Copies of this chain bind each other. A is one copy, B any other.
Amino acid sequence: MPVGTRGAVKAVTQRDLRDLDAEIILANTYHLYLRPGDDLIARLGGLHAFIGWDRPILTDSGGYQVFSLAAMRRVSDEGAEFRSHLDGSLHLLTPEKATDIQAQLGSDIAMVLDECVASTAEIDGARVAMWRSVRWARRARDRRLQLRDGSLPGVVVTNTGQAQFGIVQGGVYPELRTESAQATIEIGFDAYAIGGLSVREPPEVMYGVVDHTARLLPEDRPRYLMGTGMPDDLLECVARGIDMFDCVLPTRNARNGQLLTSQGPMVIKNAQYAEDDTPPDPACDCYTCRNFSRAYLRHLYIAGEMTGATLNTIHNLYFYLDTLRRIREAIMFGTFERLRQEFHQTFSRRTQQ
């Protein structure tokens, strides 16, 4: 899922996303709640109408940004009190409130509010946050079922078919992940996500937790790994049972001049590309690679031209979406293991020289 933080995937238009055949995008509840506000978006018919996007949208709960962006936060069993990073105003995000906001936004998939802890958290802290997340998930589910049976005062449900995903927490501790998965499945959600990973732990640690946790989740529901990751993470986590991903990496790195290619990351501003008239990734069929050279993209980056950010973003999103298309095809044809090996033979996380 390309990330459309504030109702737009940075540097591209919805037409670009259609051309890339993005099947679903993610939007951030925290940002849209603060500006322009979920009330306004609901009055205008919900997020799909507001942003002009008729394919699925997933919204997060807002919790992650409260923990990473807000000017102040205080967490209690009730919820997370925080000050807006925009104007310092005071807000209280509860499991019910996060559910209400997403009901007003009318996304197709809503996430429950959970408590995020650092990947370096000790097991006791991770356990406390995990059980709080379970209690919050119960409240969020109750709220969602109430909304499904009819609007609550002050909440305009703009998408009656909205699904709600639970989130398994528990840091890097397998026993906590097991307890969290059992308790969350017991509540009963439309599908389940794995949260609290891709927060700077080494890849092997993440793969281990994914391997352990994914097999605890229902086989007949999509399994969503939140916030991952590098291109090779996609293959490794699909291999371990993951079906859905989101990450700002392809879009953010594009704006910073880093292209993700079949060989690995490429820093397009480097002087070595100044007169290089080959495409960024000769193996890629995206609009950017079919029409523009490394030399041109480097020029646009050095000159600070927005067009460069757009062309880099189109490439990076294509590379991610195409990698997942190839994974799906390989699974259908029974050749996933071969694809996985070939990918690793070509792709390196080291920047290309």
Residues of A within 8 A of B (CB): 6-15, 31, 35-36, 40, 43-45, 49-52, 274-275, 277, 287, 291-293, 295-296, 299-300, 302-303, 305-311, 314
Assuming the A-B contacts A35-B303, A275-B44, A309-B306, are A291 and B52 also in contact, with contact meaning beta carbons closer than 8 angstroms in the complex?
yes
Complex: how many Å from CA A283 to CA B134?
A: 53
Contact (Cβ within 8 A) B291 A11: no
Name which residue of chain B comes closest to A295, CB basis: B44
Number of copies: 2
**Provided the pairs A43-B275, A287-B15 are in contact, do residues A36 and B299 lie with their beta carbons within 8 angstroms?**
yes
Cα of A296 to Cα of B8 in the assembled complex, Å:
10
A10 and B307 contact, Cβ closer than 8 Å, known pairs A287-B15, A292-B52: yes
Residues on B with beta carbons closer than 8 Å to the beta carbon of A44 = 275, 277, 293, 295
> If A7-B296, A51-B296, A293-B44 touch, does A274 touch B306 (CB 8 Å cutoff)?
no
8 contacts between A and B (CB under 8 A): A12-B310, A13-B314, A36-B295, A36-B302, A44-B295, A49-B277, A50-B299, A51-B296
Known contacts A11-B307, A11-B310, then 16 further A-B pairs from the complex at CB < 8 Å, ordered by chain A residue: A6-B299, A6-B303, A8-B303, A9-B307, A10-B307, A13-B310, A15-B287, A35-B303, A36-B295, A40-B275, A43-B275, A44-B293, A50-B293, A50-B296, A306-B309, A306-B310
Contact of A296 among B12, B31, B52 (CB under 8 A): B52
CB–CB A311/B13 < 8 A: yes
Query: What's the minimum C-beta distance from A52 to chain B, rounded to whole angstroms?
Result: 4
Contact of A306 among B287, B292, B302, B306 (CB under 8 A): B306
A308: nearest chain-B partner, CB-CB: B8
